[in-house]
Copies of this chain bind each other. A is one copy, B any other.
Amino acid sequence: MTTGDLAAAAREFAAAELTDHRYFDGLPDVPMPQSKALAQAGLANWWVPTEYGGAGVSLVSGVDIVSELSYGDAGFAFTSYLSILGATMLHLYGTDELRTRLLTELARGGGVCATLASEEAAGSELGRTGTTSTRRGGAVIVNGDKYFATNTDLAEFLVVVTRAAEDDLDYRTVVIPRDTPGIRVVRRWDVIGMRGSATYEVRLRNCRVPAENVLRGNGIRVLEAGLNASRILIATTSVGLARRVRDEAMAYAEHKVVKGAPLTENAVFAAKLGQIEMHVEVMRNQCLAAAAEFDRMMAGPDPAGEFLRAGSTRSALAAKMICGQSGWAVAGIGSELFGGLGYTHEHVIGKLTRELRWTSLVEGGDDVMRDLLYTRYVVPPAKRR
């Protein structure tokens, strides 16, 4: 399928399978039947490289796929694309055997993997990671508690950020199959939005895996490499949500009469929708630009090395920020458009508003983004552009 075909398929899928906002807002059991349908539609794990039997769809093409799925249900979309985070790390820094085996499995089975990074005390300060990994002969043993870990319970394997027990300043990313003894899902979080996804608190006790399951490179930089992909798609989620707000507003306005005319003819309403359209356009282009930079780096001669050097890309940081901020602005405009009805669960706008909040919170809040942009791209004069 071409890029356009994939986006059209995603749009069709969303319209057919994801329209029931009360179902997805109800914290449905996972895996949801829609996940299987997604795989059947050829839309699961579209980003797995062809070398593992995947479709090898570029991140640029993925932007519109994710936008369409998020238009239907952002939580479901999140569940469907988040594996790109762990898979990117595995692809870049895993041994040949490990990455081939696990990514081929993801491509074939349409399953998911989970990345376990955040902890209760450390929050998103990865330098304070308390989960440890200890080398013991040819094995590595992982112990710790992870706070917010999406998809864990349904994952094929976990990618876990740990501190090396032997060296406080060394971080290791360890791949742990889901059926490894010692993994306990403590609870599923009762999140306020994105309820079509499933995020867990997880306990790891003496989880033993072969030393080959440790990814190459400093664990935090390895994670940053993968975060570029997931942050761009998280940003894209807001594009889909904002488009949905726009279309819901138009659908409402066509039948709503204000001052004797359909709301669609009201100049103040038009100004608000024009502003929303601007945001949608700008958000999408920033996601596309960040995805293009990611694709370009991935297509280079040494992507693993380049990502270790670059860490978080400017464009991905900016994408998550603008989509979080502009998305929230769209939520602000949108959540005022539907009168009293918009303050009830009859209408989807309450859900969209909660979900547009999320982009600024997940995988590092805006304070973290600003800090990274400043220290990495403003302070060094050579990095400015």
Contacts and interface: CB of A to CB of B under 8 A. Distances in A.
Interface of A: 118, 121, 123-125, 128, 147-148, 189-194, 243, 246-247, 250, 256-259, 264, 266-268, 270-271, 273-278, 281-282, 284-286, 288-289, 314-315, 317-318, 321-322, 328, 332, 335-336, 339-340, 342-346, 350, 353-354, 357-358, 360-362, 365-367, 369-375, 377-379, 381, 384-385
A128 B148 CA distance: 45
Contact of A336 (B275, B336, B365): B365
A367 B268 contact: yes
Contacts of A372: 274
A129 B243 CA distance: 33
B246 A384 contact: yes
Chain A interface mostly helix, strand, loop or mixed?
Answer: helix
Contact of A361 (B259, B339, B361, B371): B339
A271 B339 contact: no
A28 to B, nearest CB: 16
B258 A125 contact: yes
A80 B228 CA distance: 38
A128 to B, nearest CB: 8
B343 A192 contact: yes
Given A339-B123, A378-B246, A373 B289 contact: no
21 contacts: A189-B344, A190-B345, A191-B343, A192-B350, A246-B378, A246-B384, A270-B370, A270-B371, A273-B374, A274-B370, A277-B318, A277-B378, A278-B321, A278-B369, A282-B282, A285-B286, A288-B289, A328-B332, A336-B361, A336-B367, A340-B361
